[in-house]
Amino acid sequence: MSSNASRASNDGNEPTPFYEALAKALKKRKAKLESICPSSDPVSKRILEEYGAIFVADKKVIPPPLCVFTTEEQVTKFQDAAGWEVERIGFDDVELQPEAMKKLRKAREDAQKEGLDITPRDGSEAARRNYEDSVRLWNSRFEPALDYWLAQGRLTQAQVDRLRSLPLSQQVAEVLELEKTGIYFSKDLSKSILYSIAAPGASQHIAMLAFDVEQFENPRIREIMAKHGWFQTVLSDLPHFTFLGLKEKDLPKHGLRNLEINGQMFWIPNVPGVHPGLDK
């Protein structure tokens, strides 16, 4: 029996449409979709539909009040209000919302009972990040990609200079537009930058509900994480786990559908047509 055999799928039941589940979740929190992710902003909408799973997370955690934070002040205010706990794992201090940390500790205990462990990938950056971190990571993809496409002759120096000078939100919007023409900004330049790094201000790490796991390749570790409410929700970002605090079998009810890629199970918003080419 494969170690994935006990992992739930939808048992043939259609998952709830994401927007329906989201409306319900937001109502409980007295929040409005328009103020979190304005429909007039295509970048916000894309981010919500690509990796908006945290917005339907269990009520024991606090999702961000915005799809995209635009200043460090907004992030600090949110993080202070949500609160976080610190845990030393190896040599690194990692920080997560209290419920997410509690379940990560339980997952680690389970793993350790089997002679395994769950540790952060790339140190403390594996968990909480601030706004500035998310901007720096964005630039770590954006800048080399500009150089590459300039050298390839697909972008002119004038275009590159202009892209660099744009305010961040507009920069993100234009990058996503360029990607529609095959000018990709991911690390390997073959797919969308959103599969490589979050848009600045939009990271689940800012929400303190994400943890990058060193041992992500071990199917048993993925199973243990899932048992404690931690799931893979960002396609192609393999070490990245998101705390939803829900049971795996209930995820379809919460508007998420699963997509298995190379034996790894991803839970993504059930919005038709968002992942053309990945859907089989």
Shorter beta-carbon distance to Zn ion: residue 129 or 149: 129
DSSP 8-class letter at 197: S
Q: How far is the CB of 213 from Zn ion (least distance, A)?
A: 9
Whole-number Å distance between alpha carbons of 48 and 54? 9
Q: Which stretch in 35-43, 138-146, 216-224, 232-240 sits in contact with Zn ion by CB under 5 A?
A: 232-240
Q: Which residues of 143-181 are buried (b: 16+ CB within 10 A; e: fewer)?
A: eebbeebeeeeebeeebeeebeeeebbebbbebbebbee
Shorter beta-carbon distance to Zn ion: residue 128 or 240: 240
- Dig out the tokens for 122 from the structure: 């790339």
Host H or E run for residue 218: none
Shorter beta-carbon distance to Zn ion: residue 212 or 248: 212
Q: How far is the CB of 210 from Zn ion (least distance, A)?
A: 5
Q: Which residue is nearest to Zn ion (CB)?
A: 240
Shorter beta-carbon distance to Zn ion: residue 176 or 210: 210
Shorter beta-carbon distance to Zn ion: residue 210 or 251: 210
Half-sphere exposure of 232 (CA within 13 A, CB side): 25
Q: Is the separation of the CB atoms in 16 and 270 below 8 Å? A: yes
How many residues lie near Zn ion (CB under 5 A)? 3
- Most distant CA pair in the chain: distance in Å? 58
Chain residues 117-156 in contact with Zn ion, contact rule CB under 5 A: none
DSSP 8-class letter at 67: S
Shorter beta-carbon distance to Zn ion: residue 206 or 224: 206
Chain residues 156-215 in contact with Zn ion, contact rule CB under 5 A: 210, 212
Q: Is the separation of the CB atoms in 42 and 143 below 8 Å? A: no
The stretches of 183-276 forming alpha helices (DSSP H) are: 219-227
Chain residues 243-262 in contact with Zn ion, contact rule CB under 5 A: none
Q: How far is the CB of 242 from Zn ion (least distance, A)?
A: 8
Q: How far is the CB of 47 from Zn ion (least distance, A)?
A: 14
Binding status of residue 240 toward Zn ion by CB under 5 A: yes
Q: Is the separation of the CB atoms in 104 and 121 below 8 Å? A: no
Q: How far is the CB of 125 from Zn ion (least distance, A)?
A: 9
Q: How far is the CB of 256 from Zn ion (least distance, A)?
A: 18
The residues binding Zn ion (CB under 5 A) are 210, 212, 240
